Structures are given as C-alpha cells and as structure tokens.
Structure 1
C-alpha cells in the first residue's frame, strides 16, 4: 500500500515517570507512516485529494507538546488513534516515538516505541 512518511519530527514534551521529566521536559522525535491509496492525488496533483502534511504535523504537535503521559507507549497510542480518527482515508499508521535523552543509566543513542494500528484493528 502507498504511504506518506513524516520523519524525525521534533517536539518538546513533559512525558515520563520521573518527577524531573515532568518538570524540565525533554525532546521527543516522532516518525509517522500513513498508509492509503495515493493514486488519486498522484493523478490529479490536487492537495484536496490527499492529506496536508502540515496538518498531520500540527495534530501530532498538539499531542506531544499539549498533553502529558507517563509512558511513550501512551503517546504513540494517542497519536495513532487521533490520526485514524481525524483522517478516514488512512487505513493503517505506523508511529514511532523516540526519547533521545531518557534519564536512565547506560550508554545508548535513544529509546523508542513503535506501534502499528489499522482501521480494522488488525494488521493486513
């Protein structure tokens, strides 16, 4: 299936189980893949036949920067649910939420959660 991909969207949010995460906040990266038929906008070259990328970005920004969750799993779940609700043309979405600087000991680049949700509730 065709897809629109938004990569490494960067936001500042207050998600986490530790008090300092809720006080100080931190960066989060979000990647989104939206699966739907792109043949109509591909032929028409008309924005009305597809989904405006800026609108998707704004929707995700509102969740990451405007709401608070303890778990990145909850952030990802909320994004997927909102995308599927707001954009009926989307059949399936992949959401990855990356926390580049989690307050846990060790040496690593980041931690992330990736979920796939579909309109039917099952993956094809």
Structure 2
C-alpha cells in the first residue's frame, strides 16, 4: 500500500539562479510535494496527530527554499527533500518538484522544472 500527501505549488519568492540579474531581482518559484507514507492508521482513527501536517510541510519547505540563495533549482529540491525527510519521520519517500516559470531562456516557454524523488536509506 502506498498512500500520498500532496501539496501543490507552494509559491515562494527567492533569488535563486546563475545570473546576476536573478540574484539582484529575484523571482517566483513553485514547489510541489508528493509524500508517500502509510496513512491507514490516521485514516482509521480519524486522528490528525497520526498523519503529517500539511501546514508544517508548507512552512518547512518555505523556510528551506528562502533561507539562502541556491544557484540551481536542483539544489533547492535536494535541500527541501532532505529537510522534510529529517523533520517528518512518518514520510517514507518524497518527490519534490521545483518550477521556475521565469527561467532566463532565449525562447518562448512556460517555464522549467526539476523533479526528484528521495527516500530513507
């Protein structure tokens, strides 16, 4: 059995990226989470304390993604995944997607994303 808690498109404003303009101006990023864990006990007991709090996931993600400047969105995703696995022991695996809608690419695109999956062990 694989259960999921999904948090979609947490908006953050940060100064991540390679260029001097990105460092100076900053831009919006969106981070989505897909946490796999066993939710059967929480569901059967109807007990919020046996699950993982969405608000705490969101707060931790925002804290990590805005604490410092990252050169790559790959590094943002790694930092978020590692922190959430450390801080939420109920999570077995986590997929983190970081969307960069205003990527400085010389083409007409909606944006770029990275998606990583990390687990325990």
Task: Determine if the TM-score, normalized by the shorter chain, exceeds 0.5.
Answer: yes
CA distance in 2, matches of 1:81, 1:64: 12
1:46 maps to what in 2? 47
2:89 maps to what in 1? 88
1:111 maps to what in 2? 112
4+ long deviations beyond 6 Å: none
The secondary structure found in structure 1 opposite 2:59 is: helix
CA distance in 1, matches of 2:65, 2:93: 20
Query: Considering only aligned residues, what root-mean-square deviation do their CA atoms show, in Å?
Result: 0.7
Aligned length: 120
Q: TM-score, normalised by structure 2?
A: 0.96
Q: Aligned ranges for residues 15-94 of structure 1 at < 5 Å?
A: 15-94=16-95
Q: TM-score, normalised by structure 1?
A: 0.94
Q: Which runs of 5+ in 2 are unaligned?
A: none
Tell me how far 1:89 sits from its aligned partner. 1.1
The secondary structure found in structure 2 opposite 1:34 is: strand
Tell me how far 1:66 sits from its aligned partner. 2.1
The secondary structure found in structure 2 opposite 1:90 is: coil
